[in-house]
């Protein structure tokens, strides 16, 4: 195992050396960094050209410059040396500094999108695999192909037009006309009717209920101007919490496990009590406090499950823990909604909350909630665009992986033993289907930090992709190299992790040392 890892790392280092040399030469030869001065008519033209030649060390031939750069970059390998030197960019800023800033921007942009895409994609994949060749399966398959085929910049422009400008206009006067509410309700009803499956009667009933509920909620929202002053309130949290408790228990333990259901319901009651208890505390919130509260919430859930016990203590703990986490999320969402009017009326936002470009409103002032809302409203469009284009591959991937597993002998054995469909799907099939998915997820996380060049361009986020593109446009090798090394190292490390994870998860696969 150790031999294998060492061998992989050495190969990776050699590959990295070769590739970085090529990248440096390509960037250096891709254009003329002095071009903008050659055409200029400024009096100090020669001086400017000399200054830039000095800055970029243009008198040294590119291959030699690479080795100079490599000498500086090699210092980065010394841990805590603090002498990391990746050169400077064309504006004289050290690359290490620029990279640090860009990395934060890119990670805030892509992390949420990737996590959501993975979760939704896997869920859709499992459902379509279980309903193979149903209307739902065909619908999702078609959507997956459509999303595969969408250029992200096109989606981004559409989202800007309808998601931001259109939605902001709507917020100015948030009234939903009756026909629109009915149509949206009907669409929701049809989707549910298709998704539920089963006999026609059951489909019709569930579709009808959803149609009525959705239309009524929309009409209610319109009447009370909910979109201006959104909020959930303890009653909605309690109702939604009970729903969550049942759903989580069905998935994790099955409704037959009374203790698991009881622990989840107790957690919901605790959550509603906590809703009133934590309100004053939340007014003073910081990011650290939210994280700590989140951990405490899960702890309370797991503890409740432990105390309730039952014939399978683990199931109760898991069900209660997940329920606690989700109810905590609802409380958090409610607090964000309470902060919405003050964000909406902020002098910098001026009633147009959904932003089309950038990563934050410049010079915005406010407490934790307003600042977080500002980040969210800037992230929502790029996140949606990224989810749309990456959702499809996870869905298709999970579906095919799941279909393959459902065909295995041990699934038939599990059914033959008389296990419930829930434990066959969740316990036997899903866990094994996760193995190939885990490797793909590891690959994608590796590709994450360099991945969103186009999204960053469209939404003017100054992340890694922007740095890279800017370097190319100015024939400036140092930022290009900085981004390349970061991306390549993460990709290689995560590829290694993916391989190791595969062999750790699937005992049939053994690594050859």
Partner 1 sequence: MSQPTQQEEFLAEHSHPRPPGASFEPEAKGLSQGQIVRKRFLGHSGAIAGLFIFVFIFLLAFTSVGWAGIPGWWKYDHLDVSPLVNDGVPTASLWLPAWGEHPFGQDRIGRDLFAMTMRGAQQSITIMVLIGTIAGLLGTVIGGLSGYFRGWVEAVLMRITDVIIIIPVLLLAAVVAQTVNRRDQGGWFSGFAASNGILILGIFLGLVSWVGLARLMRGEFLTLREREFVDAARISGASNARIIFKHILPNAIGVLIVNVTLTMSAAILLETALSYLGVGVKSPDTSLGLLISQNQEAFSTRPWLFWFPGLFIVLICLSINFIGDGLRDAFDPRQKKFNAKKAKDTKTGGEPEKAPAAAADGSAGD
Residues 131-170 that bind partner 1 (CB under 8 A): 131-133, 145-146, 148-154, 157, 161
Cβ(334)–Cβ(279) below 8 Å:
no
Query: Please, which of residues 201-240 interact with partner 1 by CB under 8 A?
Result: none
Output the DSSP codes for 76-111. GGSTT-------B-TTS-BHHHHHHHHHHHHHHHHH
Nearer to partner 1, 322 or 386 (CB): 386
Residues numbered 415-444 forming contacts with partner 1, rule: CB under 8 A: 415, 436, 440, 443-444
Q: State in angstroms the smallest separation of the CB of 113 from partner 1.
A: 10
**Footprint of partner 1 on 104-133 (CB under 8 A):** 129-133
What's the closest the beta carbon of residue 423 comes to partner 1, in angstroms?
14
* Alpha helix positions (H), 253-286: 258-282
Q: What φ, ψ does residue 88 adopt, rounded to 5°?
A: -120, 155
User: What residues contact residue 210 under an 8 Å CB cut-off, 6+ apart?
Assistant: 185, 188, 189, 192, 193
* Near partner 1 by CB under 8 A: residue from 252, 300, 381, 386: 386
> Please, what is the minimum distance in Å from the beta carbon of residue 173 to partner 1?
20
- Which window, 89-97, 186-194, 308-316, 502-510, contacts partner 1 (CB under 8 A)? 502-510
Span interacting with partner 1, options 53-61, 282-290, 335-343, 501-509, rule CB under 8 A:
501-509
Interacting residues with partner 1 between 393 and 412 (CB under 8 A): 393-394, 396-397, 400-401, 403-404, 406-410, 412
State which residue, 130 or 261, has the beta carbon closest to partner 1: 130
Report the chain's terminal Cα–Cα distance, integer Å.
6
Q: Which of residues 24-53 bind partner 1 (CB under 8 A)?
A: 26-27, 29-31
Write out the two tokens for 449: 């930090």
Exactly one of 11, 47, 279, 420 binds partner 1 (CB under 8 A); that residue is 11
Distance in angstroms (rounded) separating the CA atoms of residues 113 and 118: 8
- Alpha-carbon gap, residue 123 to 140, rounded angstroms: 12
With H, G, I as helix, E, B as strand and everything else as coil, classify residue 341. helix
Site size toward partner 1 (CB under 8 A) is 77
Q: Which residue's CB is nearer to partner 1, number 138 or number 246?
A: 138
Q: Does 95 sit near partner 1 (CB under 8 A)?
A: no
Six token digits for residue 224: 């009370």
Q: CA angle 131-507-15, nearest 5°? A: 100
Between residues 254 and 450, which has the closer beta carbon with respect to partner 1? 450
In the bound complex, what is the minimum distance in angstroms from residue 30's beta carbon to partner 1? 4
Per-residue interface string for the shown chain with partner 1, residues 311-330, x marking contact by CB under 8 A: --------------------
Shortest Å distance, C-beta 380 to partner 1? 18
Q: Does 510 interact with partner 1 (rule: CB under 8 A)? A: yes
| CA contacts within 13 A on the Cβ side of 411 | 18
**Is 242 or 496 the residue whose CB approaches partner 1 more closely?**
496
Residue in 193, 189, 218 with CA at minimum distance from that of residue 203 = 193
- Binder among 215, 361, 390, 478 for partner 1 (CB under 8 A): 390
Nearest to residue 344, comparing CAs of 335, 354, 334? 354
d(CA 351, CA 361): 13
| Given 38, 172, 201, 512, the residue binding partner 1 (CB under 8 A) | 512
Structure tokens at 462: 């100054």
Which residues lie closer than 8 Å to 66 by C-beta, 6 or more apart? 20, 21, 24, 25
Could you tell me if 452 and 463 are in contact, meaning their C-beta atoms sit under 8 angstroms apart? Answer: yes
Among 389, 461, 467, 486, binds partner 1 (CB under 8 A): 389
Asked if 374 interacts with partner 1 (CB under 8 A), we say no
Our CB check for partner 1 shows the closer of 1 and 187 to be 1
Task: Please give the full DSSP string across 416-434, using - where no structure is assigned.
Answer: HTT--HHIIIIIIIIHHHH
Q: Which three-class secondary structure state does DSSP give residue 177? A: coil
Residue in 293, 484, 486, 494 binding partner 1, rule: CB under 8 A: 484
User: Binding string, 445-464, against partner 1, x = CB under 8 A?
Assistant: --x--xxxxxx-x-------
Looking at the Cβ atoms of 149 and 347, the one nearer to partner 1 is 149
């Amino acid at each position: 195992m150790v031999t294998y890892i060492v061998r992989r790392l050495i190969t990776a280092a050699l590959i990295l050396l070769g590739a970085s040399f090529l990248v440096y030469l390509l960037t250096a030869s891709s254009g003329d960094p002095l071009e903008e001065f050659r055409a200029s008519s400024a009096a100090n033209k020669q001086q400017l050209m000399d200054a830039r030649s000095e800055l970029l060390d243009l008198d040294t031939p590119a291959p030699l410059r690479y080795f100079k750069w490599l000498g500086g970059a090699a210092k980065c390998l010394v841990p805590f040396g603090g002498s990391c030197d990746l050169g400077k960019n064309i504006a004289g800023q050290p690359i290490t500094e620029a990279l640090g800033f860009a990395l934060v921007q890119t990670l805030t942009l892509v992390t949420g999108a990737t996590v959501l895409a993975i979760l939704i994609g896997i869920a859709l994949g499992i459902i379509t695999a279980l309903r193979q060749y149903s209307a739902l399966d065909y619908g999702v398959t078609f959507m997956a192909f459509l999303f595969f085929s969408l250029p992200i910049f096109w989606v981004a422009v559409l989202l800007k037009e309808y998601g931001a400008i259109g939605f902001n206009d709507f917020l100015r006067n948030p009234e939903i006309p009756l026909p629109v509410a009915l149509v949206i309700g009907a669409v929701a009803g049809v989707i549910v009717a298709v998704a539920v499956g089963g006999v026609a009667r059951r489909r019709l009933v569930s579709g009808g209920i959803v149609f009525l509920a959705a239309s009524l909620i929309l009409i209610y929202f319109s009447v009370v101007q909910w979109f201006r002053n959104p909020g959930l309130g303890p009653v909605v949290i309690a109702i939604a919490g009970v729903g969550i408790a049942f759903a989580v228990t069905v998935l994790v333990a099955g409704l037959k496990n009374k203790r698991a259901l009881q622990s989840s319901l107790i957690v919901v009651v605790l959550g509603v009590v906590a809703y009133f208890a934590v309100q004053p505390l939340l007014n003073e919130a910081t990011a650290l406090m939210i994280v700590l509260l989140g951990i405490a919430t899960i702890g309370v859930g797991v503890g409740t499950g432990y105390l309730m016990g039952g014939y399978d203590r683990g199931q109760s703990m898991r069900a209660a823990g997940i329920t606690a986490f989700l109810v905590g999320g609802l409380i958090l969402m409610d607090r964000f909604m309470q902060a919405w009017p003050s964000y909406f009326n902020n002098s910098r936002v001026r009633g147009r909350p959904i932003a089309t470009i950038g990563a934050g409103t410049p010079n915005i002032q406010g407490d934790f909630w307003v600042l977080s809302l500002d980040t969210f409203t800037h992230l929502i469009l790029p996140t949606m665009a990224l989810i749309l284009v990456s959702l499809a591959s996870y869905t298709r991937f999970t579906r095919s992986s799941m279909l393959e597993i459902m065909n295995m002998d041990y699934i038939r054995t599990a059914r033959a033993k008389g296990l419930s469909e829930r434990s066959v799907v969740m316990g036997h099939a899903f866990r094994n289907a996760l193995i190939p998915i885990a490797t793909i997820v590891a690959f994608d996380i590796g590709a994450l930090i360099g991945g969103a060049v186009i999204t960053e361009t469209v939404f003017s986020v100054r992340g890694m992709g922007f740095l890279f593109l800017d370097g190319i446009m100015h024939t400036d090798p140092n930022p290009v190299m900085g981004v390349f090394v970061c991306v390549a190292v993460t990709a290689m490390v995560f590829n290694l992790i993916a391989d190791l994870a595969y062999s750790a998860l699937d005992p049939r696969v053994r690594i050859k040392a």
